[in-house]
A = this chain, B = another copy of it.
Amino acid sequence: MGTLSVFLDVPLAPSTDIPLDAYKADPSSLKVCLGHADTDEVWIPPVVKRILLQIPEDPTLNHEYLPELGILEFTTAAMKLVIGKESRALLDNRVMAAGIQTIGGTGAVWTGAEFLHRWYKPSNCTPTTVLLAEHHLENLGCIFQVAGFTDIRTYRYWNPERLTVDTVSFLMELQSAPKGSIVFLHAPEEISLTPKQWKQVSTVMAERHLFPFFDVPAQGLASGNLDRDAWAVRHFVDRGFEILCAQSFSRIFGLYDERIGNLIVVTKNNQTLIKILSQLAKQISVTWLGPTSLGARVISMVLTSPALLYEWKQSLKALVKRIMLVREKLKEKLRILGTPGSWEHLTAQSGVYSFIGLLPSQVEFLAKEKHIYLLSNGQINICSINAKNLDYVAQSIHEAIMSTSHQDQSVTVRIYSSPTHVSKSESFY
């Protein structure tokens, strides 16, 4: 055999989580990673803990392969959680819906992107455009690119200078998107739109025949109310849109390592739904053959039992309260320190993730001077702040703001530039 590797030219791929890598490499005892929940106190609802103990004792459950599309009881209950048990569009048979169990929310996005690339062809001449939220380009762009999409653009609905939702720019971008484009929407998110804003979005999308692909990563964690957090998706379904929706259960059930996702398909009629599901089954058989059972069993037990469902909802509400308390405490600390700027957005937003409102140079200051690591766009995980590090984090943010407050604010404009067009040659790899 030759001595040279046939893989000699494989380049080193960039890390997928730079703040976490830097955090891990930092020997300081002060270090904080604001991108991830504190692993010492991972939240898990008590009802989930109980069921995890029961499942191995249950003699009726075996370890046979699941069907490609997963546990029907789970996928149906999960689908209804988003679409609503009393969806008029469903009851009137205006649309048909089903779910397919995937390996986490990422698996759902991946499966949906692959399916759309293969079968969604609004134009036979030009490649289909995909629109992604600017602050999700890094993680989602790669999925759509690997699925085969070549025309990936970004839209912006978060204004980092004003720290608010920017619907004017969002609607303009939708209006100018090529007819039939796929728009990847996030609902709920910490920076969610109001029902009135969603109605404007759906109107433009109907006019331009844009296809909505929803992401529901943590239903219930924004408002504490499962129905309220599903409002946008339900609105689109009720207007008669066909949609895909990637649903994740990692955060809301605390079972990150069991990778439970669901890809919801809403289409016009049953025959089409059956055909779509047959193609998705084929696709799954090629990628991972079938999903795993533990997490889906836990979740379907909770969702189909009124008593367990009630208990889980209460746990979810308590978590949302705890998150809001952290947001309030951080805002209060910054107020007491006299940190320049308004910190209202901390409590105006909700949910686990938050744009804290720091410039990239301030993020860099935190990493270099304070051993505090977060994404350069200033997004943090609120659950990473706890009683032990709150004072230190607030003080450090204060110092970061003070140290760079003399700098030219135009840096913001440079970083959050106008919609990016990812060309074919710009590989994510």
**A residues touching B (Cβ–Cβ < 8 Å)?**
1, 3-16, 39, 42, 44, 52-53, 55-57, 62-66, 68, 102-107, 110, 118-122, 139, 142-143, 146, 206, 211, 239-242, 250, 254-259, 267-269, 272, 274-276, 278-279, 281-283, 285-295, 428-429
Contacts and interface: CB of A to CB of B under 8 A. Distances in A.
B290 A1 contact: no
B122 A13 contact: no
A288 B103 contact: yes
Contacts of A56: 52-53, 55-56
Q: How many copies does the complex hold?
A: 2
A139 B295 CA distance: 27
B291 A259 contact: yes
A275 B11 contact: yes
Contact of A12 (B63, B122, B274): B274
A287 B139 CA distance: 11
A429 B8 contact: no
Nearest to A118: B429
A217 to B, nearest CB: 12
* Residue picked from A6, A11, A68, most chain B C-beta under 10 Å: A6
B257 A288 contact: no
Contacts of A256: 63-65
A380 to B, nearest CB: 17
Contacts of A281: 13, 16
Contacts of A14: 282
A250 B288 CA distance: 13
A66 B257 contact: yes
A292 B257 contact: yes
A205 to B, nearest CB: 10
Nearest to A253: B63
Contacts of A65: 250, 256-257
B142 A286 contact: yes
B63 A44 contact: yes
Contact of A288 (B44, B259, B267): B259
The 8 closest A-B pairs by CB, nearest first: A1-B240, A103-B288, A106-B289, A5-B268, A257-B293, A13-B278, A13-B282, A65-B256
A89 to B, nearest CB: 10
Given A5-B269, A106-B286, A118-B429, 16 more contacts: A1-B241, A3-B268, A5-B242, A5-B268, A5-B272, A6-B120, A7-B119, A7-B242, A9-B119, A10-B275, A42-B62, A64-B257, A65-B257, A104-B289, A287-B287, A292-B292
Given A7-B276, A10-B275, A281-B13, A254 B63 contact: yes
7 contacts: A1-B241, A10-B279, A66-B257, A102-B288, A104-B290, A107-B287, A146-B283
Nearest to A254: B63
A241 to B, nearest CB: 6
Given A282-B13, A292-B257, A292-B292, A5 B66 contact: no
